Structure 1
Amino acid sequence: MSASASSGPVITLLPRRPGVGRLGKAIQVRSNYVEIQQLPNIRITHYDVTVTPDVPPPVNRKVFDQFITTFKVSDLANSRPVYDGRKNLFSPKEFPFESRTFEITLTSDIQQHSKRPPPKFTLKVKKVATINLEELHLFLQGKSAQTNNCLTAIMALDVLIHHAPAMLYATIGRSFYTPAGKQPLAGPLDAWRGYYQSVRPAAGKMMINVDVSATAFFQSGNLVEMVAKILNLKTPDDLRRSTSPLNWKKVEKLIKGLRITVTHRERSSRSFKIFGITDKAASDTRFTSRLDKDDPQSKEVEMDIVTYFKDTYNMVLKFPMLPCIVVGKFVILPLEVCTVIQGQRYMKKLDERQTADMITFTCQPPNARANNIKDGLRILNFEGNEFLKDFGMKVSSEMICIKARVLAAPTVVYSSSTRESSFVPRDGAWNLRDKKVFQGATLGSWGVVVFASERDAPAPQINGFIRQLVDTCTATGMVIVNKNPPIAYMSPQGNIENSLKQIWIQAGNAVKSQPQLLVCVLPNTGVPLYAEIKRVTDTILGVSSQCIQIKHTRTPKIQYCANVCLKLNVKLGGTNQHLGSTMMPFITSRPTIILGGDVSHPQPGDTQRPSIASVVGSMDRFAARYAATVRVQTARTEAIADLGDMAVELLKSFFHSTGQKPERILFYRDGVSEGQFADVLKSEVAALKSACRRLDANYNPPLTFVIVQKRHHTRFFPNRREEGDKLGNCLPGTVIDTEIVHPFEHDFYLQSHGGLLGTSRPAHYYVLHDDNKFEADQIQELTYRLCHLFARCTRTVSVVPPAYYAHIVAARARFHSRGDRFSDTVSSESGASETSSYQTIKPELMKVMWFM
């Protein structure tokens, strides 16, 4: 750590930035940040707001708008405050009261033509604090810690920039969405483009991160049309003609909770919420009604919905055979008089077709994304924002231009017996032509199981594929002793565990030795069969498995077989590639273990299934081979609960594998947000230190703990075309550690991969603990070089491999639960039984990269 970084007051418990990096070719890039050129120089007053009755934020905002319209001049010192839609109000002027309750009547055009009285609300406003921005200025200049006052000031600025768009557009979190340029997804959904914005502290200044986002909304319009789309019918008329029974349960599940308006009443703009669907058709649904609604003494008669609409509204229903929707205790409506209101977000998981459509919609090349961000800046119109003017804040309307560096690629090494055994990759990619893996595994005992009939996958086809796979593996440096493994056909609907046990026994008997590998040919891409194969092979048989789709066996391609070979080699204990001996002195000069950790959580809303923690550790002096360990823990717990035991396991494995104790530890931790830094730092660094002491009271190797973040909205665009790749993305090795990073803590952005589609996302690395006293260049270069060692492809990857492997392991361990619980749509009945249903990986696999 540099002397200047360590001097001065203690303003953070995290490592200070040890200067900035110097290595690499200097370039300029644009980033999707705009600078706050002038922060408010006033005292901002923070108020707590309580709206009664409790309603969602969009209604709160309408109540707030009415409140300002009614009371701004008379009671609020003519102030123009901003509101977050929930509890927080920030005002550029102090109100002439500490606490006060206001009665609000929510009037609108709708009420003018309605017999219903307008809704009334109570809005209580109470002063919380006065925010002085002086502390924020000191923090940005690196002279003060990030105090609670700083955090509240940043929150106030965040609410300030979000207030105007939130009053005009559909708002979700930090993004607002507009229907302009929307595109249909499969079924009843549209993809809307949105614009994300967030106030971020940076080196010496505040920035606003602006990005494009997208989410799914229900299509607005006639409800009958929506129902036809839900049921995959071409037109609403098909609802009349459909011979097979329609799945109304599916329809009800999807439309429940939607808000609609009706078309049969003149001037009525009242909205209704859908509670369900009737069991009977409109023509069969009968109820009693008075002949004269205005006369309580009028005779009651029984009639059906069709007759009622003809008599009351002179309207002939076109779809009397369809059920009605329930919108109140005594209110039902025919589908065809209902119009779905625009701007209702779809909250469930998208299906495969919808996901593919959404990817097509969001996958934009860098230039298109940059132009869309500029469109967002025009819509945001910071210069014309009256709220910003009242607070005295000025914001640039141009994306910032910042210094970046492109680090040089390292020398990648394959087997010395090949013509091009070492080389420097270009643009983050290379191929296996004329190369053999550094250390080829030997495959003697294996079997093939085809989960299909011989008609769908004829024996000659499967034999031809196996021949090509064996030839490719041999050419790539593996030793295949048995070139004719036993092949069995099994039903994909049968007992998968028994099927795999049978072929495992056949494979062992064929060469009288323990099977090393089962190749499974699958009929489709469905999760259930794949998940069951992995559960059985990982936790019951203790054998590596490789799944292949039938379509790849029809005309075997060498490129595909080579990709499979890379996976097979490491699953059997081989090493695919490593870096030149001088490329990573931190790792090669002294025994060093590289760890990666991640926690995989169940889907939002799933309160039963547990979280899964995984840690991987390097097992050789090249950081090329890894072992993995897994634990099941309480759902939604971000810290790795059993990290101490997991670390002990991996440290022992490293010693058994290399014959040496690690003298240094470098831990890359995936999946931690900024709000969780303090908790993870406190628990996980202590657990790692404790694990070392458990092995030996005097064993205390220096530890560096780095967070890896992928879920952020920072993007980079090369300033000059020749400084980018073919798609227009920044080149692999682009690193940024100035201007948009933390004012004084040690973080950096690294775009380590070459883009294949759309705009590449850099990884954000944040050093939380550093006994190894890394200089900026050291940690940046080491991290980039490690990205060339991902075992299953000949490309650099977007995040450092140990973190990537830990993520893969945690996702794979989801399949290790007994029963049908691998699908995100299935929930468990008992959290306790769910946790105990997870099975551990067999010890035989622990020495190889079984998870690849």
Structure 2
Amino acid sequence: MASNDNQSSVPNEGTNQNSFDRKEHLYTNHFICSLHDNILLYQYDIAVEESDGRSQNWIECENRWRCTQVLKSLTGNNQLEPNVFVWYDDEKTLFSTSEISTPMLIPGHNRRYRLNIKSLSNQQSTSDINDYINDRTNVFPYDTVRIIEALLKRSLQGRVRIVRNNIYFLDEEYNQNEDESNESYGFKRRYGFNQELNRSSAGLTLNIQTKCTVFYSNISLLEFIYKQIRSDRMPTDNDYRKLTRILKNCSIVTDEPHWETKYRFEKFDYRRVYEIQLESGELLIDYYRNVKNLTLRQINYPCIQVHSQNNPTTIHYLPLEVCRIKDWQICHEPSLCVPEAGRYILTPEECYYQIMSTLYDCDYNTNPLCQAVGFHVDNEEMLDFDARILVLPTIKTGVAYWAELVEGEIHLGGRVHTHKLISNLAITYFGTNYNQNKDNIQRFTDILVEVMESYNLYYSGHKEDHIVPIAEHIDQYFCSMSEQKCQFIICLMDRKDEDELTKLRVNIKRCGTLLYGIMTQCVNYSEILSDEKSANDYCRNLIRKINFKNGGINIKLDLSDVWRNKKSPNDSYMYFGAALTSSTDVSRQYSTLAAIVGSGNDSCSTTAARVCKQYPKGDFSSIETIAGMTKMIEQLLDYNYEIRNEDEPFTKIRQVEIPAIRQAFDKIYGDQTNHPLLTFVVVKRRHNTRFFTYKPMDNQLESELNRISEETKNMPIGCVIDTTIVHPDQHNFYLNSHNSLLGMNHPPLYYVLLDEIGCTPDELQLLTYHLCYTDPRSTASEAVPSVLHQADVAVSNARDLFYSAHDSSIIDIAERSRILQNSTSNDCDYEFLQVHENLRNKPVLA
């Protein structure tokens, strides 16, 4: 956020309460905990070694799974010997509360493996944490916190499985809520949790957050395929395409007698076992019969293409019948694989009781390993405190008209603030069933035209077309419409599945946005097949997008209450949102995309976006900052000027992105005395803190008969938390700006890194909340300020628009084994992704 007021100040901390704010009593999934003082924590370098049968020498074991099994067997009760407590974080480091004489060799039970405790590498103390919590030092004890968090995990050893830092109880009763529909698709649902230590104004807390994760079932690959296609028939080509998406990079093990090998799934090969010839010249079916003494029976099924986990550059071919899916693998797209995935979202009440039950089951307070460091957690109740509810914004839909706000929803009242004439409008059907569907198309067109006229969205005329959805025909159509000076095309897309819809949408956007400079609005044909009331509601929502894309203003946010202590007739404000999506690849082909969205006026009712792709030079890893920020901000400042005249964890951000913005100020405003003042806020959306409100029911009998109303609910919209649970020495706050229709609300955590404007906490929180109402296309407030949401959308749309169909973020096989170097902003190239000049400052991406 930039202001042209030239005062300066440092970030304000603390709370400046607004007299209009209401109070709300909340509970959060943090629990007060404590540690004994002066407990020494010794850190040792270790290695699990295995005996080389040929040379009789001991060599370091490189198999991580085997190393973990050896460590588990040797530290089963977390003790090397009585009262010598030990635990580990990975296979290379051992921790203990006792000093161990090194080097020490501890043989495994079968004498084939041993643990080599090499040397003492570091030493910490629990006092490091207590001193930080009690403000005796301002140095955060990262290493000590990591050691204690590792101790909490290992205190559950033998009872849990840790997968990607999430913990899952092995007890089947803990996951007894499994249902048949989940298993019937080849997946298993497990409830797990994540835990971390946190410093808050209330002291040291333990954060517990539960989650439901869908795993692949440990079944044969053929059985999995049958479950997915709901039949034991031969899969079709469409089935194979969907299965390839579901299984991509899935771990496959061979289900053969006497041995098991692990592979990663690449794709279906479509050739059968009697059609694939190995390098030796032998057919695959003969190889299994002669070398592996295995007669294959399902020879009419295609083979799969895989690569070894230890050698990703070598391709192997496996028959389906010898393949099994490895257990404990997370499915990252459960909605694609299990149609009923949405039913697994927990209500706030269910989430609350699951968190409390998880902490109770962990039983840290009686665990011997936890007692060794004096760890104690208050497991009777969650941390509770009073939060504030901010006042609602004032939103204008005309000179003398205001929108009605109900539970975060924005009702326009049948008008938009400012509209622009569409000189040439087309409503076009892209599909192959026009004659069959023309009555529905005409009905939709009539309703849309009627709604546009009722909202005073004028156009000089419109034409109706239908086009066969083939790339060549689409290109020819847009070329023709460009010659006819068409300004806006509403595109009715009619395809039979999501993949075809996506391809059609990308073709339409490529032609309109990149090649011919025609604004487009895509509409799924299936969404207009509804009753008249629903069709009217759909069209009312649709015209928000049409007016916004055409340069009109749907709503205007009144920020006079926010800036009442700052605003002068000469002040103006501009708001930026930035988003960065990282790729798992490091090449120019699969680059990282970055977007910045800037507002065109004080009320944030118009915006423009700039998108660039960036890629590291040579063998450097990708960076988590925006390399082209200076140029992007510079262009958006130019856009803002034209519009007005026409009408810690963040070290890299401090070192790279804030200076980049100042460089843009240098180029636009020259002398530093003319620079706008800058306020920089980082939004953290991935965290494990949740909030609950407790509402006792008035009629207990009624509540038992009708469970629609529950006692534990999400916190209300507008709720801000800047005490108790936040860091006492940092300017940060949680803000819930939207209603969650399903499950738990997940309010973002805002970090104020820089505040030259000199906002009070109350002003900045109120401004942030009100900016969540400024997306002209949305019928409700959003989870984050709209410029940030639009930056996310711009990145997503750019990936669809500028990447070809075969591009993906998955690393090419030849790239998997590359060792990458840490990179800086100087090790990164970038280039702008340009839309057609006619649409340069239109919201075609955001």
TM-score normalised to structure 2 length: 0.80
3-state SS of 2:842 partner: coil
Structure 1 residues 340, 164: CA separation in 2 closer, same or farther (over 3 Å shift)?
farther
* 1:66 equivalenced with 2:73 (yes/no): yes
1:729 is aligned to 714
Shift in alpha-carbon separation, 1:182–1:253, aligned structure 2, 3 A: same
Of 429, 442, 447, which residue of structure 2 is paired with 1:463? 442
Residues 284 and 477 from structure 1, CA distance in 2 versus in 1: closer, same or farther, beyond 3 angstroms?
A: closer
Q: Which of 672, 677, 687 is the equivalent residue of 2:660?
A: 687
C-alpha displacement at 1:726, in angstroms? 10
- For residues 216-246 of structure 1, the C-alpha deviation after alignment (integer angstroms, 9 at most, x for no partner) is 322124565335335x2534xx57xx89999
Letter in 1 for 2:419: G
The counterpart of 2:635, out of the listed 624, 649, 665, is: 649
Matched length: 762
State the partner residue of 2:728: 743
Q: CA deviation at 1:551?
A: 1.7
Q: Is the 8 A contact 2:422 2:460 kept in 1?
A: yes
Contact 2:590 2:809 (C-alpha < 8 Å) held by counterparts: no
Q: Deviations over 1:183-228 (max 9, x none)?
A: 5267432232211111222225221211112333221245653353
1:755 CA displacement: 1.5
Partner Cα separation in structure 2 for residue 244 and residue 644 of structure 1: 48
Equivalent position SS for 1:64: helix
Query: How far apart, CA to CA, are the structure 2 residues paired with 1:249 and 1:688?
Result: 44
Superposed, 1:651-666 pairs within 5 Å as 651-659=637-645
Tell me the distance in 1 between the aligned counterparts of 2:471 and 2:810. Answer: 20
Judge conservation of contact 1:735–1:749 (CA < 8 Å) in 2: yes
Q: Kindly indicate whether residue 569 of structure 2 is the aligned counterpart of residue 598 of structure 1.
A: no
**CA separation in 1, counterparts of 2:291 and 2:325?**
30
Aligned-partner residue type, residue 741 of structure 2: L
Shift of 1:621: 2.6
| Aligned residue in 2 for 1:668 | none
Q: Aligned AA for 1:85?
A: D
Letter in 2 for 1:81: V
Give the alignment partner of residue 691 of structure 2, picking from 708, 716, 730. 716
Q: What SS is found at the alignment partner of 1:279?
A: coil
Equivalents in 2 of 1:630, 1:284: separation in Å? Answer: 49
Q: In the alignment, what sits opposite 2:365?
A: 383
Which has the higher mean CA deviation after the structures are superposed, 715-724 or 438-447? Answer: 715-724
Output one character per residue of 1:231-280: Cα deviation in whole Å (capped at 9) or x when no partner: x2534xx57xx899996996897697434777x8xxx8x76546899925
The CA distance in 2 between the partners of 1:522 and 1:245, in whole Å, is 20
Deviations 1:631-653 (A, max 9, x none): 11126322111111111111122
Checking the alignment, whether the CA contact within 8 Å between 2:155 and 2:369 is kept in structure 1 is: yes
Q: 1:234 to 1:699 in 2, by over 3 A?
A: same
Q: Which one scores higher on RCO, CA 8 angstroms, separation ≥ 6?
A: 2
1:448 aligns with 2:427: yes
Question: Contact between 1:816 and 1:839, CA under 8 Å: does it hold in 2?
Answer: no
Report if aligned partners of 2:612, 2:830 keep a CA contact under 8 Å in 1: no
The 3 A distance-change label for structure 1 pair 167 and 259 is farther
Deviation string 1:166-190 (CA, Å, 9 cap, x unpaired) is: 5432212321124623452674322
Aligned residue for 2:733, secondary structure, equals: strand
CA contact (8 A) 2:422 2:487 kept: yes
Could you say if the C-alpha distance between residues 549 and 576 of structure 1 is closer, same or farther in structure 2, counting changes exceeding 3 Å? same
**Unaligned 5+ residue runs, structure 2?**
1-8, 50-59, 276-282, 309-313, 617-621, 699-708, 819-827
Letter of the 1:530 counterpart: R
- What corresponds to 1:532 in structure 2? 507
1:294 maps to what in 2? none
- Among all aligned residue pairs of Structure 1 and Structure 2, give the percentage whose two residues are the same amino acid: 20
Aligned to 1:49: 46
1:799-818, aligned counterparts within 5 Å? Answer: 799-817=784-802
The residue correspondences of 1:302-701 to structure 2 (distance < 5 A) are 305=294, 343-346=327-330, 349-350=332-333, 353-354=336-337, 356-361=339-344, 363-397=345-379, 398-416=381-399, 421-423=401-403, 425-432=405-412, 434-455=413-434, 458-482=437-461, 484-492=462-470, 494-505=472-483, 508=484, 514-524=485-495, 525=498, 526-555=501-530, 557-580=535-558, 582-585=560-563, 589=568, 590-602=571-583, 608-634=589-615, 636-659=622-645, 675=649, 677-695=650-668, 696-697=670-671, 698-701=673-676
Corresponding residue for 2:142?
151
Change (3 A) 1:224 1:599: closer
State how far apart, in whole Å, the 2-side matches of 1:725 and 1:408 are. Answer: 26
Deviation at 1:835, TM superposition (A): 9.1
- Alpha-carbon distance in structure 1 between the residues aligned to 2:591 and 2:341: 29
Asked if structure 2 preserves the Cα contact closer than 8 Å seen for 1:60 and 1:85, the reply is no
Change (3 A) 1:774 1:119: farther
TM-score, with length taken from structure 1: 0.80
Q: Is the 8 A contact 1:286 1:305 kept in 2?
A: no
How far is 1:96 from its partner?
Answer: 2.9
* 2:134 corresponds to 1:141: yes
CA RMSD of superposed structures (Å): 4.1
- Provide structure 1 residue ranges, at least 5 long, that are not aligned to the other structure: 1-12, 108-117, 290-300, 307-316, 509-513, 662-673
**Structure 1 residue matching 2:651: 3-state secondary structure:** helix
1:843 equivalenced with 2:801 (yes/no): no
**Larger displacement relative to structure 2 (175-184 or 599-608):** 599-608
Q: Partners in 2 of 1:843 and 1:337 — Cα distance? A: 56
Aligned: 1:779 with 2:764 = yes
1:501-551 CA deviation, whole Å, 9 max, x = no partner?
Answer: 23333xx3xxxxx33211111124432221222222222222221000112
Q: Which deviations, in whole Å up to 9, do the C-alpha atoms of 1:13-72 show, x marking residues without a partner?
A: 994634464552122111111121345541211223333444455433321133336995
